[in-house]
Structure 1
Amino acid sequence: MRKSLLLYAFILIALLNIFTYMFYSKEVAFEKERYEKVTKKLKDSLNSVTLKLKDANYFSLENNENAQNYFDSASSDKMIPYEKLIPYVTEKLLDLNANPKGNPYVGQDQLGANKFIINKVKILNHRWIIADYSDGEIWGEVLLKYFVNPDETISFEVNQSLLYQK
């Protein structure tokens, strides 16, 4: 009886080992296949987002070689790298938010108790800026011209401004 009990235990352990081996080998193959599918999907997603970002940044000084070359002209004594120009122009425009009557380059007079200030700035090329402004309740956008003067100061000019309805 003891021999048959050991025989049954041995057969049971062998079967459990076979089933466990098959289960884990199939699981590894399944996980590997799933990993490959997810990786492919994520790469496609990343490529899609990269293309959308590239399209969204089409109108920007960072991607416009012609506008960049405007500041690298050989006729001028000074060369302005656009990497330094973008934050400099943005800072100068946002510094005007400290004006007690609001930023003068939003193209709108103060309507209520709050002043209009510029929130976001996007430099489109060597001449144009688009900016978002608000007074906390009313929002708008403005298209500006900017000029880099010979003394390296920046001057702005409002081209078009609009307010959105509440």
Structure 2
Amino acid sequence: MKKSLFLYLFILAVLMNVFTYMYFSKETAFEQERNTKISKRLGDSLTSVNSKLADAGYFSLEKNDNAQNYFENNATGKYIPYQKLIPYVTEKLMDFNTNPKGNPYTGQEQLGAQKFIINKAKILNHRWIIADYNDGKYWGEVLLKYFINENESVSFEVIQSIIYQQ
């Protein structure tokens, strides 16, 4: 009786080990397959996002070598790197937000009690800037032309401005 009990326990232990081994080996294979599918999907998503980011940055001074070369003066050997130029021009444009009547380069007169200020600006190339502005109630966008003068001051000119309906 004792021998048969040990035999049954031994067979039961072997069966449990076999089933446990099969379960964990199948689970490992399933997890590897699932991870492969997820990493492929994430790789495709990453490629898609990188492509969209490259398309979004196409019209920018950072990606435009011809516009960057414009700031190299061969006669004087003077060069303005775009990494310093972009924040400098943006800061000069934002400085006009302190004007009591609002930023004059929004292309809009003050409509209500609040003044129009520029929130965000993007330098497109060596000549153009697109900017977003608002007064808290009305929103709009403006296309500006900018020039770097010989004394390194910046002058702006409004090309066109649009204000959105409420």
Matched residue, 2:124: 124
2:30 is equivalent to residue 33 of structure 1? no
Matched to 2:14, the amino acid is A
Matched to 1:37, the amino acid is K
Deviations 1:27-66 (A, max 9, x none): 1111111111111110110000100111111110001111
Q: 1: CA distance between counterparts of 2:11 and 2:83?
A: 75
Q: 2: CA distance between counterparts of 1:131 and 1:76?
A: 32
Matched residue, 2:164: 164
Deviations 1:75-109 (A, max 9, x none): 24421001100011011111111111111100000
Structure 2 gaps of 5+ residues are none
2:147 is equivalent to residue 147 of structure 1? yes
SS in 2 for 1:61: coil
Q: 2: CA distance between counterparts of 1:53 and 1:120?
A: 18
Q: How many residues align?
A: 166
Matched residue, 1:112: 112
Q: 2: CA distance between counterparts of 1:14 and 1:95?
A: 80
2:24 is equivalent to residue 24 of structure 1? yes
Cα shift at 1:73: 3.2
**TM-score of the two chains, using structure 2 as the length reference:** 0.98
Matched to 1:30, the amino acid is F
Deviations 1:115-151 (A, max 9, x none): 0000110100000000000001100000000000001
SS in 1 for 2:160: strand
Show structure 1 runs of 4+ deviating over 6 A: none
Matched residue, 1:43: 43
Q: 1: CA distance between counterparts of 2:34 and 2:72?
A: 51
SS in 2 for 1:63: coil
Q: 1: CA distance between counterparts of 2:130 and 2:112?
A: 24
Q: 1: CA distance between counterparts of 2:71 and 2:102?
A: 30
Q: 2: CA distance between counterparts of 1:36 and 1:72?
A: 49
**TM-score of the two chains, using structure 1 as the length reference:** 0.98
Cα shift at 1:2: 1.2
Q: Report matched runs for 1:50-89 at 5 Å.
A: 50-89=50-89
